Amino acid sequence: MGAHTSRTTAVRDLRETAHAAQVRELTAAGVLEDPRWRAAFSAVPRHVFVPYFWTGRGAGHERLWAEDPDPERRARWLRGVYADTPLATRLRDGRLVSSSSQPSLMAKMLSALEPADGDNVLEIGAGTGYNAALLCHRLGEEFVTTVDLDEEITESARSHLALLGYHPTVVTGDGARGCPSRAPFDRIMVTCTLPMIPAAWLGQCRPGARILAPLSTGLIALTVRDADFAEGRFLHTPAYFVPLRGATAAPAPTEFGEVHGLPYEMVENERFQFMLVLTDGVLHPREALDLWRREDRPARERFGVTVSTGGQWSWLDDPQGPYVWPLGDG
């Protein structure tokens, strides 16, 4: 009994030390400038939400988990959990269907969401429940709703959240349809990549609401005017997420290494990749490259998106300017 208690205490101390180190690193990186988010990350340990994850690719997948009898593999699990990296948490037929996002990106997104006390927030993509827990700590569980298509994922997220005493509304359903029963929302935060913005969300938002969503390889921050219109620009932050599944499922991403007719350095240029995906199906790769060069290699912040009853468009610099492209099925 004594040896078991000693081991349990040592494991708890290691986890607490690793958690504290993560918060210090995120703070030093400048992504936890808001003390309220710093307090949330300090209060919510990531390991509770990631009891296991997968490493490697293809046939080389390896599962690391908290209760592995091998102490070295347990140590690798703990190092991985508190590293600033995304973690694959659920595979199906070798395909990634759910993950725990990179903590520094989560911190940037939560900050960019700009929720105020009393705001009603909808999260699309429950994942492990970690992000919902951070929102619960900041706003209170009664103001947080999180949705995922997969019942196995929502049940797991609900269990993880309950371990820390959080009980937000966790819904199994198609995130593209939002959650009408919990509307209206002041903020919608999306943790899966979209091909376009589901129209249902606008009708579930209050005027002035903010939608933050991964699109292409960036984050679009939209301000909702009403049920018929929203507009905004991309943040400078790159973002790569598991695609949304359901009615508005994202298409397979462009394989940049297979884009022919482009100089290799452009295929590997992350900023150009963003524009290439954003204009996919509208501009040929060579046309996109010529425009990108002609416009002084624009970064993400110069691009934006307009959502209206007449369709959805991405644009460069000005929604009324010369460079406007239909988005998704626009």
In a domain, 242, yes or no: no
In a domain, 240, yes or no: no
- Looking at the fold, whether 173 and 298 belong to one and the same domain comes out as no
Cross-strand partners of 121: 144, 187
Average pLDDT of the segment spanning 245-252: 54
Sheet holding 169-172, edge to edge: 169-172, 144-148, 121-124, 185-190, 205-215, 218-226, 229-234, 303-308, 311-316, 324-326
Tokens for 264, please give them: 């290799």
Task: Please state, for a pLDDT cut of 70, what percent of the chain lies above it.
Answer: 90
- Looking at the fold, whether 213 and 266 belong to one and the same domain comes out as no
Tens digit of pLDDT for each residue in 95-110? 888 999 999 999 999 9
Range of the domain at 322: 256-326
In a domain, 62, yes or no: yes
Tokens for 113, please give them: 């969401």
List, as one string, the DSSP characters of 167-202: --EEEES-GGG--GGG--EEEEEE-SBBSS--HHHH
- Looking at the fold, whether 173 and 291 belong to one and the same domain comes out as no
- The residue from 98, 101, 216, 314 that is catalytic is 98
- Our count of domains for the chain comes to 2
- Looking at the fold, whether 211 and 294 belong to one and the same domain comes out as no
Instruction: Specify the pTM.
Output: 0.92
Confidence (pLDDT) at 187: 98
Active site residue 159: no
d(CA 306, CA 325): 10
In a domain, 281, yes or no: yes
